[in-house]
Amino acid sequence: MFKFENKRYYLIIYALILSLFSVYFLYRADFPNPKFEIIMFCILLAAGIYSIIYYTKNNANLHKVALVLIIMFGIISLFLTPIDDVSDEAEHFVRSEIISTGELSTSYVPIPNTTSYGYETINSVTTFFDNAGSNVFNTKVDDEKIDYTPSYFNSAFAQNPFYAYLAQGIGVFLAKCLDLNAIWMLWLGRFFNLLLYAGIITLAIKKAPVLKFPLLIVSMLPLAIYQSASTSCDGLFSALAILAFSYFLYFYKTPKISWKDLGIFYVAVILCGLLKSPYLALSLLLFLVPNNHFSDKKQNIISKLCILVALGIGLAWSSYATTQLANSWRGEFFAQNNVSASGQIDYLLANPLIALQRFGETYTTALPTIIDRFFYFSNSVRDYSSSLLAGLYFVFICLFSVFYPNCEKMELKTRVKGFLICALIYGGVMAVQYLTWSPVGGDNVTRGVFSRYFMPLLIFLPFVFGIGNKKIEKETLSFLVLTIAVGFISGMLMLTTAVKY
């Protein structure tokens, strides 16, 4: 069997991956800014080399590796990504600025001298929206001081709970306190959001007794780094889902479960579920835990009955969030495009064959689009993506999930139950998006669907499909997998460089 005896080989492999991705993306973009591109190549080369060296010295402490690598590449991403260029970041940024003032809820108020309604923020925030998609070299707004003149924006993600923006709000507040230029509200908001994501992932990997390395690789998905290094709350929901999954793994291996750990598990599930309601189904993972791992029969019953409490909280919040959702540009969009969740449900109930067809498409024809969108960045007219990265990463994550040797062998029935929970969450996300974005009777089940909604589900792949390979040395394969994973992150950042600079 081929074995890398010298760690230099991994550095060479990373340099080759980075070079190939760089040449491919920059050549397609016709090398628009050669000096900056060379600088970024050197930065990423140094970051990748450091990542591999750090891993060689800390591969027994994967939670530390996750913390360092996520923060390092996240910092590069948060500075590299143009103003408000992440999907819906303008709205997330508005909510972050509102939170920075201490207003945990949002007020949908009349906009002065108009007949419209909106959310009050400050002029610097709305000016950034006017320059969305511009990098700091192509605009002067980043050089201006914070303009506190009241301004209004038509949406602020009022349907999301306040805690999703506390970290970003702290960053914005700090920029204000230090009287920094306006751009630092965005950058520090992104940075504190990144720290929160990295911190939760670190705790998750440290807590998990098994599948630590797969948890690391999934948490380093390029799209996850990109989202967590923004003011979007999608990174937080992903981290919370991974945290909940790590506690399930802990329960699966721990003979006596404590009430404290069960409480943390449910807090993670509920906080995640209030951001993406189908993820409340993560609570069903408790049915995969051996009954003798609960401290007693009473704890077993109560902990599973709490699933109903979690679902009840989720349903109550969903009702509130649906009302708030209309208090934005989406309300007018829904009215103009005949989008109605209740109307869609009535249509499907009246046409069961069509409903069955939509259900089948969710799990078949929609999958290639979902896979491709794992490397779909930004949105609207500023979007960019890479089917090459998406295709290669799909092959990589599938091979890794199946063949990476894990010390824990799961029973077949446990894998089947895990697969069903994963399929339920996936179908739930697809159903919610179809009901809330597709016109009544619409035939596009992927409308409004983005792969960032499915990031945490990747951890189910090694759990369900992992068979391992005893012929492959685990240490050798781990180094190779980490090198390739870092290469994909660097490829994403070079794609951003090529397209946005």
> For 357-369, what is the HEC assignment?
HHHHHHCCCHHHH
Q: Is residue 471 over pLDDT 70?
A: no
Q: Is residue 331 over pLDDT 90?
A: no
Range 474-500 average pLDDT: 93
Q: How far apart are the first and last CA of the chain?
A: 44
Assign 63 to helix, strand or coil: helix
Range 294-319 average pLDDT: 93
Pick 283 or 378 by higher pLDDT. Answer: 283
Range 102-118 average pLDDT: 90
Which tokens sit at 139? 């605009």
Amino acid 67 reads L
Neighbours of 239 (CB within 10 A): 27
Range 211-236 average pLDDT: 96
pLDDT tens, position by position, 421-463: 999 999 999 999 999 999 999 999 999 899 999 999 999 999 9
Q: What is the pLDDT of residue 38?
A: 93
Confidence of residue 142 (pLDDT cuts 50, 70, 90): confident
168-184 burial string, b = 16+ CB within 10 Å, else e? bbbbbbbbbeeeeebbb
Q: How do 384-385 and 109-110 pair as beta strands?
A: unpaired
**Residue 259: closest CA among 267, 134, 468:** 267
Interatomic CA distance for residues 375 and 222, integer angstroms: 8
Confidence of residue 32 (pLDDT cuts 50, 70, 90): confident
Give residue limits of the domains in the chain.
Answer: 81-469
For 349, the enclosing helix (H) or strand (E) is helix 341-350
Assign 157 to helix, strand or coil: coil
Q: Where are the beta strands (DSSP E) in 379-467?
A: 384-385
Confidence of residue 18 (pLDDT cuts 50, 70, 90): very high
Q: What is the pLDDT of residue 141?
A: 84
Interatomic CA distance for residues 339 and 356, integer angstroms: 20
How much is the mean pLDDT over the chain? 92
Which tokens sit at 31? 């090398």
Which residues sit opposite 377 in a β-bridge?
384
